[in-house]
Chain A
Amino acid sequence: MCSIDGTLLDFKYLDRLADGDTAIHRLDPRAKVLVTLAFVVSVVSCGKYDLTALFPFFLFPVFMITLGNIPGLYLAKKIAIVIPFAVMVGMFNPLLDRQVMLQVGSLGITGGWISFASIVVRAVLTVGAALALVAVTGFPGICAALERLGMPQPFAVQLLFLYRYIFVLTEEGGQMARARELRTFGARGRGIGVYGSMIGHLLLRTWMRAERIHMAMLGRGFSGVFHTRRQFCFGVRETVFCLGWGLFFITARLVPVAHLLGTLVGF
């Protein structure tokens, strides 16, 4: 029950983070989207046993989070919620891959454990980067950026519509669920019969709402495109941002930074 409201609040909170006004927020969304995609691809392209090669990549999410003034703890909690699938699948690696790859004293660490750790680290990195991107750019910004980068226009309109009505409809759904909860006793009334007609009603109401929206939009001269006054400029800052991070990702992929540091200290 309160979980629906909780989810919605959480969602709104993440959405509102994008209203910030920091140097990162002010960057052109296209630069942020491109760099984040490059980041995800470089992280994912690391070999499955290259655990330490992944560590330098933490710099990017940390940079976005700190400069974008995003609460790190909140993001960490969100990351922790979604990791289980990767962990569940990765858990089989230690069982199936038992070749010892590293001896620390008498403790032999198998390849399975290393690749398991690398899966978890990858999950943290990729999920963290995606969430940081939303938090510093905002959904409309990402849509606009993707549209400028070649996403088909009907799909962009669809994404913006969806985004606008998610809040309205989830609130309505939450109200319906609460009303049902208050009228049920134990499991009675929570079965599929009530559920079917309840969601069916929500669906029909949604459908009629869409027709009203359409008429209202026609009345205001909608022609299939959202017109926004958003200004795009891919200037020096964006170029530096893209080139800088691009170079960093390539370096981090090619040079074993962690290993060099370790040798430097004398291990």
Chain B
Amino acid sequence: MIRVQAEDFDIGAEVAKLTAGRTDIGAIVTFTGTVRDQDGAVEEMTLEHYPGMTERELSRIEAEAQARWPLQASLVVHRYGTLKPGDNIVLVVTASEHRDAAFDAAKFLMDYLKTSAPFWKRETGPAGSHWVEAAENDADAASRWHKKKHAAE
């Protein structure tokens, strides 16, 4: 399941909903991304996205994770709009029989989301506001999964 929303999410409630009535799950991994103030440099962060394509990309990435690992359940929730330091940005939940699949799939989902989901961050602080530049190591993190896939083939 994927969701794009302005509202905050409750990690406990999301996990409970995802796993309700399930007795086949042995491992649940959650990742939460939050807004950092970067030592006072960031007072506000605004996330813009591409409605329609965002949902398509998140669904595509989730389907790819489901194809690569034996997941019993997965969830990606990503927020947009104006956020403050400490606010939640993104939630990834993966559930599997054993921990390796859940850990790996959660990292894969985040690495891919970072380089392909159409979101853009704008940070505002005492020095003004600017669009966040994409980090080169994000592309590297995503491309490592390409190599792993080829190595497995």
A and B associate: no
User: B residues bordering A, Cβ < 8 Å?
Assistant: none
